[in-house]
Structure 1
Amino acid sequence: MAKRFKKARLAAAAETQQQGRQHHHDADDYMSAAFTVPQPLSSLKARSALKPHPQEQQRTLSRKEVDALATDRRIEGLDTPIEATNPGFKLLMKLGWKRDAGLGKRGAGITAPIAAAVKQNRSGLGHESKAEARRAAAKAAAAEREQRARAQELAARKEFRSSMSGQFAARRLAADLTQAQRLVEQMDVATGVSGRTPLWPPEPEVEVEADDDGADQDDLSFAAAAQARGGAATSAAAATAAAAAAAAAGEESGGGGGDDADGGMMSEELRAEWAALSMAEQLACCLQYLRSTHLYCLYCGTRYDSAGDMDEHCPGVAKDDHDAEEL
Structure 2
Amino acid sequence: MSDEEDDYMSADILNGVSDQPVGIAKSRAHKRQLQIHSRFEESREVYKPKRPQSHAEREKERRDEALAKPISHESKGFALMAKMGFKPGMSLGKQREDEIRITEPISVDIKANRKGLGHEVEEVKERNDRVEAVMQKMKEQAAKHEELIDDYSKRRRIDENAKQLVKDIRSCRKVCEELDHRIGKKVPIVDWFWRSYKVVQEDSEAPKGYYKRRETEREEEYKYSNGHSAPEDPNYDVTMPIQELEAALLSINTYLRDGHFYCIWCGANYCSPEDMAEHCPGNTRGAHHGDDDHD
TM-score by length of 2: 0.49
Looking at secondary structure, tell me which structure has more helix per residue.
Answer: 1
